[in-house]
């Protein structure tokens, strides 16, 4: 039975060119991430999965899930994760710097030159327009993830319960929901009849 690998390792022999490309990709993503980390997911997937074929679909979503259970901004977590697996330690440093530099630079420019930035009516209108696009991009990811989810009664109930909690009890931190979902997953696995474990058990190895 095949053993699914989370990450396709190329870190050991990544060229400097690829490491620079990692920097550039995450720099561009960082420069266009407006309205929080979720906004960059679709762009990242385009580059990493569809354009360069560095990682597979399910690896991408695994990384995204892990980036949400670990502390810190999701964009930074994803950059470090992808950077390391694709370009080693230098790759992770470059990708992380890439995603961070636009954020630092733009704030310094605003703080120094444009203190009235946010009160400008044109800025506000432009931003509202960008959000229209961002919402559409996140909705695209929702549909994609919904389509590839293995729907069972349990996963549907977990999803509905998490939605219910998010909408009606907003004080709950996402981390508890994510950990709760993970624990349900473990419970389901533990309750499976012995010997018929998931496809990832090493029964045939």
* Angle, alpha carbons 172-32-112 (nearest 5°): 95
Tell me the backbone φ, ψ of residue 195, rounded to 5 degrees. 90, -10
How buried is residue 94: exposed, middle or buried, by Cβ count under 10 Å (0-12/13-18/19+)?
A: buried
Q: Quick one: 16 or 36, whose CB is closer to another protein?
A: 36
> In the bound complex, what is the minimum distance in angstroms from residue 20's beta carbon to another protein?
19
Q: Quick one: 20 or 73, whose CB is closer to another protein?
A: 73
**Secondary structure (DSSP) of 46-59:** IIIIIIS--S-HHH
User: What sign for the dihedral angle of Cα 18, 48, 105, 122?
Assistant: positive
Give dist(CA 53, CA 153) in Å, integer: 33
- Non-local (6+) Cβ contacts of 64 within 8 A are 41, 74, 78
Residue 179 contacts another protein per CB under 8 A? yes
Residue 66 contacts another protein per CB under 8 A? yes
- Non-local (6+) Cβ contacts of 42 within 8 A are 137, 138, 140, 141
- Helix, strand, or coil (residue 200): coil
> In the bound complex, what is the minimum distance in angstroms from residue 24's beta carbon to another protein?
13
Please report which helix (H) or strand (E) contains residue 95, including its range.
Answer: helix 74-113
Q: Report the site for another protein in 115-154 (rule: CB under 8 A).
A: 117-118, 122-143, 145-146, 149-150
Q: Which of 14, 18, 81, 94 binds another protein (CB under 8 A)?
A: 81
Q: Report the site for another protein in 151-170 (rule: CB under 8 A).
A: 155-156, 158-160, 162-163, 166-167
Q: Which of 20, 52, 56, 73 binds another protein (CB under 8 A)?
A: 73
Residue 20 contacts another protein per CB under 8 A? no
Q: Which of 15, 16, 57, 198 binds another protein (CB under 8 A)?
A: 198
Q: Give residue for tokens 């009890």.
A: 169
Residue 61 contacts another protein per CB under 8 A? yes
Number of residues located near another protein, criterion CB under 8 A: 114
Residue 38 contacts another protein per CB under 8 A? yes
Q: Which of 10, 31, 52, 90 binds another protein (CB under 8 A)?
A: 31
Q: Quick one: 20 or 74, whose CB is closer to another protein?
A: 74
């Amino acid at each position: 039975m095949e053993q699914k690998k989370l990450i396709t390792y190329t870190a050991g022999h990544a060229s400097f060119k690829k490491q620079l490309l990692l920097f550039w990709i995450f720099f561009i993503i960082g420069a266009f991430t407006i309205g929080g980390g979720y906004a960059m997911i679709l762009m990242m997937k385009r580059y990493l999965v569809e354009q360069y074929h560095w990682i597979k679909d399910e690896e991408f979503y695994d990384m995204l899930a892990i980036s949400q259970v670990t502390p810190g901004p999701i964009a930074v977590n994803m950059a470090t994760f992808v950077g390391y697996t694709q370009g080693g330690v230098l790759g992770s440093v470059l990708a992380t710097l890439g995603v961070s530099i636009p954020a630092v630079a733009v704030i310094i420019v605003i703080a120094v030159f444009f203190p009235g930035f946010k009160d400008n009516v044109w800025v506000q209108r432009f931003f509202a327009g960008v959000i229209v696009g961002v919402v559409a991009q996140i909705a695209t990811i929702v549909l994609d993830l919904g389509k590839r989810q293995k729907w069972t009664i349990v996963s549907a109930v977990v999803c509905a319960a998490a939605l219910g909690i998010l909408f009606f009890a907003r004080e709950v931190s996402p981390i508890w929901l994510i950990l709760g979902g993970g624990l349900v997953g473990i419970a389901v696995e533990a309750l499976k009849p012995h010997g018929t474990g998931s496809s990832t058990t090493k029964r045939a190895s």
